[in-house]
Amino acid sequence: MEAYFYEKLENYCVRCNLCCHRCVIKDAHRGICGVRENRAGILTSLVYGRLVARNVDPIEKKPFYHFMPASLSYSIATVGCNFSCLYCQNFEISKMPKDQDGRIAGAFFSPESVVQDALRTGCKSIAYTYTEPTVFFEFAFDTARLARAANLKNVFVTNGYMTPESLEAISPYLDAANVDLKAFNNRFYKKICGARLSPVKKNLILMKKKLHVEITTLLIQGMNDDPSELSEMAKFIVEEMGPETPWHISRFRPMYRLNNVPETQFESLLKAREVGLKAGLKYVYTGNVPGESGGNTFCYNCGKLLIERWGFIIKKNLLQNSRCKFCKTFIDGVDMNN
């Protein structure tokens, strides 16, 4: 189908305005994402409805810890991504067009069928996830509008690189976003991800004004774990997003083209968590560590355990009307007693 957010240029070229790369694409060529193609001056989405993944997941898997805990989310993805992260955990599908000579896989589903399946499986939200939802924006947009009408929530798991205009368009139908804040220096973004840091920072601030936001940082030793950089990142979250913004710090494992870097030590996650708490963040979590309790939610006022998690499973939730059972402090989030 014809893509949204582009402008026609001379000689059948187009400029895509969906993400902050704003690719200028020649006729018969594709943008950086690999899934938007210029066909004689018409920018075309190659992945509309072509889902390569459909799963019913706990919302905690995204991860969201302060958005409808213990609920199920119908999770969908197409191939493609507008980043080129060397450590991508879902590279088989996100990098497919680039690594497999432009291949576009996926079975066709309509927005109506996705919404119906989400309702049938008892999900309370639809998650646009696994790859980058921005690159299948048209399908996400159409699905999100139908989902909203069916009383389902919509959540993005995203790198946060969409343009302000595309964010403005989807935000009336979007309820939450977990944004990968991959590092806090432009060198890392350019060398490791093929992008820039500043648009992500700007979009985080815009998103916070419109919807529930949680942030995830995959910690890679020697690359984005410098204490001073983490301190600057935490300071940015506190001052620009608010101290109530949850920050998930996850362990890196060798993956894709960054398989010569060692697994992040657990102690590094704990140190990063302390940096976040010292900066004033109320909720800092450590993740991707089996059997570890870094996903538990504690009252930031009295320190008592309120939500106990084992992986993606909630073992107990002691919140009462979104307040600490013990000191009555309000715990930030959406439907925390879900």
Q: Please give the pLDDT value at position 292.
A: 75
DSSP per position, 79-133: S--S---TT-TTHHHHSHHHHTTT----EE--HHHHHHHHHHTT-SEEEE-SS-G
Average pLDDT, the chain: 97
Query: Confidence class of residue 46 from pLDDT cuts 50, 70 and 90?
Result: very high
Asked whether residue 204 carries a pLDDT value surpassing 90, the answer given is yes
Contact 118, 144 (CB under 8 A): no
Residues 42-53 have a mean pLDDT of 98
pTM: 0.97
User: What are the strands of the beta sheet with 6-8, ordered from one edge?
Assistant: 6-8, 14-16, 24-25
Burial degree of 336 (CB within 10 A; 0-12, 13-18, 19+): buried
pLDDT in tens, 223-267: 999 999 999 999 999 999 999 999 999 999 999 999 999 999 999
Which pair of tokens denotes residue 53? 């993944």
